[in-house]
Amino acid sequence: MKRLFVVVFLFSMFVSGWSQSNSVPRRTAEEEARKQTGMMVRELGLSDSVQIDTLYRLHLKYARLRRQSNTRQEELNRLVLFTNELKDILTEEQYSRFMSVQVDSLPRHRQPLYGRKQYKEPDKTAKP
């Protein structure tokens, strides 16, 4: 029993040391903003350089804010502020496409019911 404990302990020490040495380096705020802007440009097919530059500055602003604090409530507040500012930058068509991509990228169990393809609008003429 004592040997089993020693083997398990040594194995856990090896795994924790190995995982720390192979960890992915953290991106800077600028790298994160570039990546997010690039993803939006590809997904939405943006070509206006002024709009792309404004998106980059918006992503950079919120990437820097994320580094200052990371509580759940602050993240939700930042997300609301981000989407409000995004509405001012994108056209209505681009914004609706962006939001549909966001819903489609959610895990299946987190998607809103009305966003699922198999959801049917209830028949309002039928009596309960």
Per-residue pLDDT of the chain in tens (128 residues, 90 and over written 9) = 666 665 566 666 666 655 555 556 688 999 999 999 999 999 889 999 999 999 999 999 999 998 887 788 888 888 889 999 999 999 999 988 888 877 666 666 555 555 555 545 556 565 55
55 burial class (0-12, 13-18, 19+ CB within 10 angstroms)?
buried
List the one residue out of 92, 93, 82, 88 whose CA is nearest residue 59: 82
pLDDT at 119: 47
Q: What pTM did the predictor assign?
A: 0.62
pLDDT at 89: 93
Q: Residues 51, 89: contact at Cβ < 8 Å?
A: yes
pLDDT at 76: 87
Instruction: Return the structure tokens found at 105.
Output: 């990228």
